[in-house]
Amino acid sequence: MSYRGAEAPKTVSPQSVKVEDYMARKLITFSPDQPMHEVVDSLMKHKISGGPVINDQGELVGVISEGDCLKEVVKGKYDNMPIFTGLVEEHMAKDVITVNPDLNIFEAAKMFLEKRLRRFPVVQEGKLIGQISQKDVMKAVLSTKSATW
């Protein structure tokens, strides 16, 4: 026989598992009219592999990456002048896959596997508000309690 009495039911409040809760908000961004040599300098300085390209209104217009810069190096070799010329808008990827901040983190994980990308810009009402990476998803999973998924 127990003398503890009735226990109050335990309530488990669900944890948020949205992209907006785990995305990076302070991003290194580039502009379409920025010279490529500045991009390379910034990538090296900040130890990043790429970044979003935004216009003056804060709208995402592309993504520039180390790979885009390497294409310029290879092109320069044929001209016997491996320098970074041109502007970001001439080299950036323009068809960018983005995600909504309300997207479930597990759906984002699925997108990473399907699209084979390392990061997605997070866009709301046409404006860049952050970026979610595979590493951010892993951090989210580690901080999520199994009972609240």
Encode pLDDT of 100-129 as tens digits. 999 999 899 999 999 998 889 999 998 999
> Quick one: which H or E segment has residue 65?
strand 60-65
Rounded to 5°, the CA angle 128-132-135 comes to 155
Cβ-proximal residues to 149 (8 Å cutoff; 6+ apart), any chain: 15, 17, 106
Q: Answer whether residue 94 shows pLDDT above 80.
A: yes
Q: Answer whether residue 140 shows pLDDT above 60.
A: yes
Rounded to 5°, the CA angle 44-36-81 comes to 95
- The residue ranges of every structural domain in the chain are 19-144
19-144: what CATH class?
alpha beta
d(CA 91, CA 40) in angstroms, rounded, equals 12
pLDDT digits (tens, 9 = 90+) for 19-78: 999 999 999 999 999 998 899 999 999 999 899 999 999 999 999 998 888 877 766 555
Contacts 24+ apart (CB under 8 A), 116-120: 118/49, 119/50
